[in-house]
Amino acid sequence: MVKLAIFASGAGSNAAKIIEHFAGNKAVMINLIVSNKKEAGVLGIAAAAHIDTLIINRSSFYETADCVNELKLRGIDFIVLAGFLWKIPETLIEAYPNRIINIHPALLPNYGGKGMYGNFVHEAVIAAEEKESGITIHYVDAHYDEGDIIFQAKCSIEPTDTPSSLATKIHALEHAHFPVVIENLLKKLA
């Protein structure tokens, strides 16, 4: 059984789709939801699914091995970032080499980096008059959005699209593809 931890900072729509996808799966268990925000919607999703949660604070996350130790204690094998906005510290990357993935709401390497998340990404893509956008699922390394790309899916951008309408298209891609890509990666671990 592969034990998965999901890190999320917000509402948790991707986490919800991942939890739903793996419900009843005998080979994968969502074992922990980690958040840096006590009021994050993802915590309610975790509670409804009877999944343990861990709230982390910035100083402990970056200055100690507490998070790594907690993940190891719980037997976590793989980490999924699903709307988690903090940069992952070296200690965590070293403890889980090629076992931390992230989803980005654009086609990397464009529109990535510090501060490029959510509507900031969609606003930048539309301002640049791009004809398409999409999602990128990638491994996490020591730099924002620079890890090796695992998967990309695209959507067209119409002249009438707004950051909000583009976000709707991107969410549909995320929800359709992220759980399946995770499952395929975990099959390789087994």
Which position among 104, 122, 138, 177 bears the catalytic label? 104
The model's pTM is 0.96
Q: What local confidence, expressed as pLDDT, does residue 189 receive?
A: 79
What sign does the dihedral 59-92-101-80 (CA atoms) show?
A: negative
Indicate whether 174 pLDDT > 90: yes
Of the chain, the end-to-end C-alpha distance in Å amounts to 8
With bands split at pLDDT 50, 70 and 90, how would you rate the model's confidence at 12? very high
Q: Tell me what percent of the residues of the chain surpass a pLDDT of 90.
A: 97
pLDDT attached to residue 190: 67
Residue 177 pLDDT exceeds 90: yes
91-128, pLDDT tens digit by residue? 999 999 999 999 999 999 999 999 999 999 999 999 99
The mean per-residue pLDDT over the stretch 165-179 comes to 98
Q: Is 104 a catalytic residue?
A: yes
Please state, rounded to an integer, the average pLDDT across all residues of the chain: 96
**Torsional sign, CA 10, 127, 130, 169:** positive
Mean pLDDT of 76-103: 96
pLDDT at residue 23 is higher than 90 = yes
In the predicted model, what is the mean pLDDT of residues 23-32?
95
Contacts 24+ apart (CB under 8 A), 165-171: 166/122, 166/125, 166/126, 166/133, 167/105, 167/118, 167/119, 167/122, 169/133, 170/105, 170/106, 170/122, 170/133, 170/134, 170/135, 171/13
Residues in the chain: 190
In tens, the pLDDT along 30-72 reads 999 999 999 999 999 999 999 999 999 999 999 999 999 999 9
The pLDDT of residue 48 is 97
148-165 average pLDDT score: 97
